[in-house]
Structure 1
């Protein structure tokens, strides 16, 4: 599984990277709850954009475990190619009967970067070790933990944030 770096652009100056406490990993479950958009993510502020970024990571984890890409599509602009690549991947994975256990993304470091119009960050994502099944009836396989740098760009539109770009590596 390849992890793509995601960056969310927030108005303002670049900041030094800062460590983020790891978030607990949720295992795949039939009762996994749909992530809820935090109230702060409705604010057109750097804090609101960062709250949205954390929510977006939760939505990616949710889609990877459940195959339900509705929340991921709603949290992404229609022209976000990197976002749509993940939607397509999770839809294809689910159609084949594929599944994952553990292996959640978490933010280990975040750096706000300047962007002309949107909120942006370069983020170091940690992918926890886990297991996957490529298709129904296939052998269960393990994947190792890894860290990837991703650029996320979020846009405030219609009273809320949406991911506008999801790019591997440091792209801004």
Structure 2
């Protein structure tokens, strides 16, 4: 009976040692069978894809294009890649150029910007003198940014404002021709 208890205890100790990967003789666990954690890959951001409705030559198409442009602003803020933002605005749009330059400068200096999550709510899209004027109520989440890698973050509270975009059809696609900030909506 005593022999059975000793044998059982020995089997339990061997089983525990086998499960833990340790050797009961020296008490040091072995790491040979332990998989090492591999770092997860950093996701690569891709620019937003233009939706089909933003390629229609209509008031709704112009409105959809402005929403797409706002998604490009979010992408530039997060990635520092301002090429899609710049390529969808004409050289006439000084506000567009300054916006793209701002994010390019931040990232070139080693800074960063969290995604402000701009959301565009189009309130009107009207054809005036060959261009569509799209009025947008924009909202943003609280976010932060910093000019260089070692700079302190600037905190930006959630907010709202309105913009008017002048959108022109080039014959094959839309382009932002002008961006005019408006007073904060009530």
TM bracket, shorter-chain basis: 0.7 to 0.9
Q: TM-score, normalised by structure 1?
A: 0.76
Structure 1 unaligned regions, length at least 5: 1-28
Report which structure shows greater RCO (CA 8 Å, sep ≥6): 1
TM-score w.r.t. the length of structure 2 is: 0.70
Q: How does 1:46-125 map to 2 (within 5 A)?
A: 46-108=59-121, 110-125=123-138
CA contact (8 A) 1:63 1:69 kept: yes
Q: 1:87 to 1:66 in 2, by over 3 A?
A: same
Provide the C-alpha distance between the structure 2 equivalents of 1:80 and 1:121, rounded to a whole number of angstroms: 15
**Stretches of structure 2 lacking an aligned partner (at least 5 in a row):** 1-41
For residues 134 and 52 of structure 2, the distance between their equivalents in structure 1, rounded to whole angstroms, comes to 20
Please say if residues 62 and 125 of structure 2, whose CA atoms lie closer than 8 Å, have aligned partners that are also in contact. Answer: no
2:128 is paired with a residue whose SS is coil
Q: Which one is further off, 160-169 or 128-137?
A: 128-137
- Out of 127, 134, 152, the residue aligned to residue 147 of structure 2 is 134
Larger radius of gyration: 2
Provide closer, same or farther for how the CA distance between residues 92 and 136 of structure 1 changes in structure 2, counting only shifts above 3 A. same
Residue 134 of structure 1 aligns to a residue whose secondary structure is: strand
Q: If each structure's helix is expressed as a fraction of its own residues, which one has the higher value?
A: 2
Q: Is 1:162 matched up with 2:162?
A: no
Verify the 8 A CA contact 2:75 2:115 in the aligned structure 1: no
Task: Output the CA distance in 2 between the equivalents of 1:141 and 1:82.
Answer: 22
Residue 132 of structure 1 deviates from its aligned partner by 1.5
CA RMSD after TM alignment: 1.7
Contact 1:102 1:129 survives alignment (8 Å): no
Say which SS state the counterpart of residue 88 (structure 1) adopts.
Answer: helix
* Contact map agreement 2:135 2:165 (CA 8 A) in 1: yes
Structure 1 residue 158, shift from structure 2 partner: 3.5
Cα distance between partner residues in 2 of 1:102 and 1:51: 21
Matches of 1:112 and 1:47, distance apart in 2 = 7
CA drift at 1:39: 1.5
1:140 offset after TM fit, Å?
A: 2.8
d(CA) in 1 for partners of 2:134, 2:153: 35
Alignment partners' CA distance in 2, 1:143 and 1:87: 18
Q: In structure 2, how many angstroms separate the alpha carbons of the residues matched to 1:76 and 1:85?
A: 11
